[in-house]
Amino acid sequence: MTRKGRRLFVIALAGGMLALAAGLVLFALRDTIVFFYGPSEVIAKNLPAGTRLRIGGLVKEGSVQKPEAMVTDFVITDRNHDVHVVYHGLLPDLFREGQGVVAEGVLDGSASIAADSVLAKHDERYMPREVVDALKKQGRWQEGSSDAPSQ
């Protein structure tokens, strides 16, 4: 085998080993990778039941119901499509209607998710009181600015 042939053999062998390693990593992660979708994407993609996913949007006004203790039914909307969510457990303190939320769970049907975790998002203008106080002490805080905390 010539020197060029040996070099090509080593490169091909290294490429094959790299492809095998990447394949094994992807195979091992296939159950832990969770994709994020919006309600319109969930409807449009027509995902099969049993798909694990994260869905984000706003909690639809008037949709929160508590049929049993520790069970909450609500709807996540992007104002175009709605996805029904059933969650068993305590909701975060920031959870409320009209607020942003991310739920992770398993798709039950075409537009229903059995969530096992719910994350509530606060207003992007929110700033902790301690930070506001610190900014006021430094003289950098301006009342009524776009950085003012929401109440």
Q: Tell me how far apart the alpha carbons of residues 16 and 22 are, in angstroms, rounded to a whole number.
A: 10
pLDDT value at residue 144: 63
Instruction: Please enumerate, as own/partner, the contacts of 74-80 that have beta carbons within 8 Å and a separation of 24 or more.
Output: 76/39, 76/101, 76/103, 77/39, 78/38, 78/39, 78/40, 80/39, 80/40
pLDDT value at residue 132: 76
Mean pLDDT by 10 residues, the chain (151 residues): 92 97 91 86 88 90 91 91 93 88 88 91 73 77 56 42
pLDDT value at residue 113: 93
pLDDT value at residue 129: 77
